[in-house]
Amino acid sequence: MQTEAQKRSIQNRLNRLEGQLRGINRMIGENKDCSDVLQQLTAARSALQSTIEAYLAVTVNQCLLSDDVDAETRRKLAAEMLSVIHKA
């Protein structure tokens, strides 16, 4: 599983994203310029994508590249991960 440092890193990213989304919601409520809101939405999307990639890197290293996992289990885990990613 994840180390505490890896877990903290992902959680910090999610906390920043949560704050960013609250700010965007506030901007919409305050009728801020639509291009400013769109810029912040795009930045939030990028931050979420980066978080997904960081989480995926940890998961792949721990679940698929671990010597403790047999080949059949790796194949199943890889298929599950790809299925989840392709649903998005």
The C-alpha atoms of residue 52 and residue 14 are separated, in whole angstroms, by 10
Looking at domain 4-87, its CATH class is mainly alpha
pLDDT reading at 1 higher than 70: no
pLDDT at 88: 63
pLDDT at 52: 92
Tens of pLDDT, residues 41-87? 999 999 999 999 999 988 888 878 878 888 898 889 889 888 988 88
Helix (H, G, I), strand (E, B) or coil at 1: coil
Q: How far is CA 2 from its chain centroid?
A: 15
- pTM score: 0.79
Give the range among 4-13, 16-25, 43-52, 64-73 with minimum mean pLDDT.
Answer: 64-73
Q: Are the beta carbons of 17 and 51 closer than 8 angstroms?
A: yes
What is the Cβ-side half-sphere exposure of residue 18, based on CA atoms within 13 angstroms? Answer: 6
Q: Are the beta carbons of 19 and 39 closer than 8 angstroms?
A: no
